[in-house]
Amino acid sequence: MAQARPFGVSVRAWQPPRRIDAIDFWLRSRLLASAHALREALRPSARRWHGDAHALADAPVLAQYRTPLWSDGRADEFPLVAGKVQNLRVARRAFDAIEVPAGEVLSFWRQLGRPSASRGFVQGRELRGGCVVPTLAGGLCQLSNALATVALRAGLELVERHGHTARIEQAADAAGDAVDATVFWNYVDLKVRAKHAWRLEVELTSDELVLRIRARSPIAMPAVPMALRRASEEGASAALPLARGCLSCDQTACFRHRLLPAVAQQGRTAVLLDAWTPEFARYLAAHHTGADRMQPVPLRLAFWRAGPATGWHREAVADGAAAVQSPWWASLRRAVWQRLGARHAGRRQGSLIDGQRWLALAFAARLKPEHTQLVIDQALLPHLQQLGALDGRRVTVLASALPMAEIERRLDAAAQCWPGDATLRDFRADAALVQAEAAALARVAAVVTPHAEAATHLAAMAPRAALFRLDWVLPAVRDIGATRDAPPLIVFAASALARKGARELAAALQGWPCRLRVLGSSSDDAQLWRGIGSVEHMHWRGDGLNGARVVVLPAHIEHAPRALLRALAAGVPVVASGACGLAGLPGVREVAAGDVEGLRAALKNACHADDDNKNDEGDS
């Protein structure tokens, strides 16, 4: 926001502001704001438009305007620039995807509402009396300038517009038709109108504010007043005097000097975690030492207390995290809800998504304007995209899973082969969340993952992102090797679920004399393993690798193949589908998910190869 010309205050950048002038400005602005609010209450001049309409979502783009987020202002003024970007994040939600009917007016303040701290607005930069001063919700003029410019480009009518009284130092705008349009709550407004219905889209990339206007019919260019024509042709800001910045000027005698915020560090990194893995812990220790860390509290609900400082908590201390924040309430709520959801078929995935959303909400509330870079767990990414927390920030995603759209496609394909298995319909997400994940991946700057197949699919969805492929970390276990007991013991490294390949494994083992050990829980289908002589369920207790000839996981979906990594570390051969993400790892025989015959051949080859190795050792 900034002081407007109708207010009549001259720019005297060479003279320090006086307290009496500030008091006079405050009194007159409150009077004018109250009078305007009364007039609008009695006879509204515009309506507030909602962003839930989609009639023009696929309409042609009539005009687009881009303006940089971080290039205006000196380095000393970073706190105010960061506050400005935060205010634009909050304001974007009020303007993005709105559709204005033909002949109706879009009012900046009617659409945005009163900016307050309770809505998430913070101290930003505002032009007042020739100075750039800190003020609540400061910086919204960048949005009003962009809206006026893109509206003029699209041929819309600027019903009301006011210009600034000064220009910000180092303000960069390469567009020659940029329009200067200041706003000040609530009487200095920007109003736009068109003869046809139109749609406004607002986006914040990591370094730009982007506005687009869509419409079905070409909008005729209205007669542009001479003042606006001159503003667009010559650039209003170029002829204005240069404003002083409160954080960078040398006028320490000014009364505002004692009210300024402390100069913050030039951008910080926040790491937002949902789960701990040794691969990501190694990456964070190497690349993001000293970053602020946010992670849930590990709770053991059997005893209603926090677990020991293992995993991420210990690693956070070891990595030298600047600050570690753990939202207790969100962690407890999520733990209880997931425990309840795990007891009901078809609700487990829904409870996981709910918990991730609660955690993302808690993390987003703790982010500060100076957090310009985020390192985010993939599970939190779509929720943070919906919240707008990614706007104006550089994002690195720690990815351990396939995109949700690909997961659902694979499960749908498996359900066609096994239509009677209800567990293949458990893993589903709301369509809006799937779209949010795709939109978030399209904007990320880097993708970090050890999962080979996830890396391939994420690289396609994030074509502009740098891809960092991590090495899997094998656990420290004793080498047990494979045994020659007959019949051979085959270990299934999961619970007996269809998405883990249990149906294909049961079909592949038919007619083959062998023993089967399931590391996880049993299936609800009592007939799943019929025809297989000996079946043992470990329920994730004890050492299930003892005596194993081969460990198998022909999964359709598998994002954390820890049991397979343990088998590889112990020297036991592994047969796994490509969905396990272990491509290229020594000791792994890959099969296609759903290929029963290929799985049978791979298992027999693994057992026979082990027999041949043992015979060669005996001959020597």
Q: Model confidence over 499-546: pLDDT tens digits?
A: 999 999 999 999 888 899 999 998 888 888 988 888 999 998 888 888
The predicted pLDDT at position 531 comes to: 86
Q: Do 457 and 494 sit in the same domain of this protein?
A: no
**Domain total for the chain?**
3
Q: Model confidence over 533-571: pLDDT tens digits?
A: 889 999 988 888 888 999 999 999 999 999 999 999 999
Strands 208-214 and 61-68: antiparallel
Per-position b or e across 430-462, b if 16+ CB within 10 A of its CB: eeebbebbbbbbebbbbbbbbbbbbbebbbebb
CA nearest 386: which of 426, 439, 316? Answer: 439
DSSP SS3 for 187: coil
The predicted pLDDT at position 483 comes to: 63
The predicted pLDDT at position 7 comes to: 37
Q: Model confidence over 160-176: pLDDT tens digits?
A: 998 876 666 544 444 56
Q: Do 98 and 171 sit in the same domain of this protein?
A: yes
The predicted pLDDT at position 234 comes to: 45
Asked which of 413, 441, 469 is the last residue of a domain, the reply is 469
Distances (CA, A) of 288 to 282, 323, 469, 550: 10, 12, 17, 39
The predicted pLDDT at position 320 comes to: 52
Q: What is the pLDDT confidence band of residue 45, given thresholds at 50, 70 and 90?
A: confident
Q: Do 298 and 154 sit in the same domain of this protein?
A: no
| Whether the predicted pLDDT of 323 surpasses 80 | no
Average pLDDT over residues 486-509: 92
**DSSP letter, residue 493:** -
Percentage of residues in the chain with pLDDT exceeding 90?
A: 50
| Whether the predicted pLDDT of 253 surpasses 80 | no
23 in a domain, yes or no?
Answer: yes
**Residues 275, 97: Cα–Cα separation, whole Å:** 34
221 in a domain, yes or no?
Answer: yes
Q: What is the pLDDT confidence band of residue 259, given thresholds at 50, 70 and 90?
A: low
Whichever domain contains 590, its CATH number is 3.40.50.2000
479 in a domain, yes or no?
Answer: no
Between 128-137, 476-485, 531-540, 541-550, the lowest mean confidence (pLDDT) is in 476-485
Asked which of 232, 259, 286 is the last residue of a domain, the reply is 259
Q: Do 226 and 335 sit in the same domain of this protein?
A: no
Q: Do 34 and 181 sit in the same domain of this protein?
A: yes
**Residues 37, 187: Cα–Cα separation, whole Å:** 8
Between 114-128, 357-371, 556-570, the lowest mean confidence (pLDDT) is in 114-128
The predicted pLDDT at position 336 comes to: 85
Average pLDDT over residues 243-272: 66
**Residues 336, 170: Cα–Cα separation, whole Å:** 52
Q: Model confidence over 386-427: pLDDT tens digits?
A: 999 999 999 999 999 999 999 999 999 999 989 888 888 777
Q: Do 198 and 281 sit in the same domain of this protein?
A: no
Whichever domain contains 316, its CATH number is 3.40.50
477 in a domain, yes or no?
Answer: no
Q: What is the pLDDT confidence band of residue 10, given thresholds at 50, 70 and 90?
A: very low
Q: Do 431 and 560 sit in the same domain of this protein?
A: no
Amino acid identity at 429: A
Q: Do 284 and 432 sit in the same domain of this protein?
A: yes
**Residues 306, 298: Cα–Cα separation, whole Å:** 6
The predicted pLDDT at position 513 comes to: 87
CB neighbours (10 Å) of residue 342? Answer: 12
Q: Do 305 and 395 sit in the same domain of this protein?
A: yes
376 in a domain, yes or no?
Answer: yes
The predicted pLDDT at position 410 comes to: 93
52 in a domain, yes or no?
Answer: yes
Structure tokens at 590: 């890959």
**Residues 184, 614: Cα–Cα separation, whole Å:** 83
474 in a domain, yes or no?
Answer: no
The predicted pLDDT at position 250 comes to: 61
Q: Model confidence over 66-97: pLDDT tens digits?
A: 999 987 666 677 888 899 999 999 999 999 99
Q: Do 138 and 197 sit in the same domain of this protein?
A: yes
Q: Which residues pair with 212 in a beta bridge?
A: 64, 201
Q: Do 123 and 242 sit in the same domain of this protein?
A: yes
Q: Do 246 and 154 sit in the same domain of this protein?
A: yes
476 in a domain, yes or no?
Answer: no
**Residues 127, 237: Cα–Cα separation, whole Å:** 13
Q: What is the pLDDT confidence band of residue 381, given thresholds at 50, 70 and 90?
A: very high
Higher pLDDT, 369 or 33: 369
Residue 496 lies in domain: 489-619
